[in-house]
A and B are shown apart, each in its own frame.
Chain A
Amino acid sequence: MQIQDTPSLKAEARGLNFYYGEKQALKGINMPIYDKKVTALIGPSGCGKSTYLRSFNRMHDLYPGNRYEGEIRFFPDNSNLLSPDVDPIEVRMRVGMVFQKPNPFPKSIFENVAYGLRVRGENNRRVLDDKVEHALRGAAIWDEVKDRLQDMAPNLSGGQQQRLCIARALATDPELLLFDEPTSALDPIATGAIEELVHELKKRVTILIVTHNMQQAARVSDYTAYMYLGEMIEFGKTDEIFIKPQDKRTEDYITGRMG
């Protein structure tokens, strides 16, 4: 793949503050998300990386007392995802998410993947069949489940469930895909499969991934952001962050002296 010097922007946080009630969890975050790249968010537990990630699909709107300040600009239309005028459902139609713990619905494999399509009003059987197959292929799980699409999804193994959840998110063609520590509940083999998949997926979709595992960040991402205590400490190309971090705190974390 050719490396462009200035890839185009998919999204950009501008002066983003976030509050859980009185408690400020994000402090003035400014950060670009580049189109069709993988951006990793790293940092110690409680640093706000998951909070930041969940701002991109307005997940915080589900709970009372949460408040955003600032903007997340979304391109190409340059809309502000956090604007009160923007319906969170519209945001989630464009921004998909894969969670820390696989959370398949208690439905068949097929219906899990078709769920987002049905939410969008698609009920044509042939269209559903096509899109479900395409999504399952995209998530590298088609060969394992093609003969048992009507089986209950929660009966799959953990790694398969997580790939199914990725297929579920892919089925609706999101522009941005959020991964919240997607491999923390998986064994090394399943983790490897997911990482390979992330690498494959960036041809199609912009990816933002939270990870506790620095090797994982180094393996899968093009850009890395280091967060600490709700602040964005350092952002840059992954090789630069890992080889010569500019900030002392980033260096301490990466070399294992903190965290």
Chain B
Amino acid sequence: MNYSMTANSPSDLPVVSDRLSKKAMRHVSERLIEALLFAAAAVSVLTTIGIVYVLVSESVHFFQNVSIFDFLTDTQWTPLFDDAHFGIMVLVSGTLVSSLVALVVAIPMGTIIAIYLSEFAHGNVREIAKPILELLGGIPTIVFGYFALLIVTPMLQVIFPELPGFSLLSAGLVMGIMIVPYIASLSEDAMRAVPMSLREGSYALGSTRLHTALHVVVPAAFSGLAASYILAISRAVGETMILAVAAGMQPNLTWNPMEPAATITSFIVQVALGDLPHGSIGYQTIFAAGLTLILITLMFNILGQWLRRKFRENY
């Protein structure tokens, strides 16, 4: 800027022109860096656009053969049979039931762990417990899948003898355990970000730790908690291997977690593993199912954005 030049240097010309050329160089490198940063950001945006484009264009072919009405209302899903039916609700029900089971486990457990770590645990307990917890999130989901199939299902069968070998309940429970670290870790970050001055205000009024945690810290961190729940929902809806392994893969329109069922993701895996000719209707169902999945996730993301705005931190 002009004033800094005149303020710092005497007004003999060579010095000024030297400074000017430096300024020009700075300008070029600034522009270069800006372009690089923009390119990096553009890659992820373009990838998303590309994925959506492929899904939509392939789905258009699909919906030329199958009406949207049938797609949404048919109660059977048999795309590879001679008598083909394309009722996506069959897969959506499996996805929603297993996700619901997972969230019923993960949201309370993750939130309680976060409250403990943020408000009660001593510094060194937190330093040890949090990395171990986050390790749980690094276990491959196929391992969780077999854990559900070989350990959790037999244990559940002790309580519910009529439970079949594959069930949404078993897969959902294990999926919940898998998601706990995400919720706990993100919620703990959100609660630790609540300023100490708010806690002190609460303690100064004679409040206990638990009362402070539940009535001041949790409400103050609510937008962060909501964000972690939404991420958890997205994880649950998109989870594939656990369900493919432990929930069975037969399409089954049910709202009962005690039954086996296919989900959108496990169907996609199943079909993608077979050899379907490119351009066949069976091939195109993958894209229609994928589009449905993205729309469900998008819906929850919009809900999450809305929640975050509604409960924006204003401390």
Contacts and interface: CB of A to CB of B under 8 A. Distances in A.
B206 A106 contact: no
B204 A155 contact: no
Contacts of B199: 62
A120 B206 contact: yes
A107 B204 CA distance: 17
A20 to B, nearest CB: 15
A165 interface: yes
A103 B200 contact: yes
Interface in B187-207: 195, 197-207
A115 B202 contact: yes
Given A107-B219, A152-B314, A119 B211 contact: yes
Contacts of A57: 204
Interface stretch (A26-34, A89-97, A137-145): A89-97
Interface of B: 122-123, 195, 197-208, 211, 215-216, 219-220, 313-315
A168 B199 CA distance: 14
Q: Which 8 residue pairs of A and B lie closest in terms of their CB atoms, listed nearest first? A: A116-B205, A97-B204, A93-B206, A154-B314, A92-B206, A103-B197, A103-B201, A106-B220
Contacts of A154: 314-315
B2 to A, nearest CB: 34
B204 A105 contact: no
Nearest to A107: B219
A59 B203 contact: yes
Contacts of B123: 64
Given A101-B197, A105-B201, A116 B206 contact: yes
B204 A96 contact: yes
A97 B211 CA distance: 18
B201 A155 contact: no
Contacts of A104: 201
A92 B314 contact: no
Interface of A: 57, 59, 62, 64, 89-90, 92-93, 96-97, 99, 101, 103-107, 115-116, 118-120, 152, 154-155, 165, 168-169, 172
A106 B219 contact: yes
30 contacts: A59-B203, A59-B204, A64-B123, A89-B207, A89-B208, A90-B206, A92-B203, A92-B205, A93-B206, A96-B205, A99-B204, A101-B197, A103-B195, A103-B197, A104-B201, A105-B201, A105-B215, A105-B216, A105-B219, A105-B220, A106-B216, A106-B219, A115-B205, A116-B205, A119-B205, A119-B206, A119-B207, A152-B314, A169-B204, A169-B205
Given A96-B205, A120-B206, 20 more contacts: A59-B204, A62-B199, A89-B208, A90-B206, A92-B203, A97-B204, A101-B197, A104-B201, A105-B201, A105-B202, A106-B219, A115-B207, A116-B205, A116-B207, A119-B208, A154-B314, A154-B315, A165-B201, A172-B205, A172-B206
A246 to B, nearest CB: 34
A205 to B, nearest CB: 15
Nearest to B220: A106
Contacts of B200: 59, 62, 99, 103
Contacts of B220: 105-106
A99 B205 contact: no
A242 to B, nearest CB: 30
A120 to B, nearest CB: 7
Contacts of A168: 201, 205
Contacts of A155: 314
A101 B201 CA distance: 11
Contacts of B216: 105-106
Nearest to B313: A106
Which of A115, A118, A154 has the most C-beta atoms of chain B within 10 angstroms of its own C-beta? A115
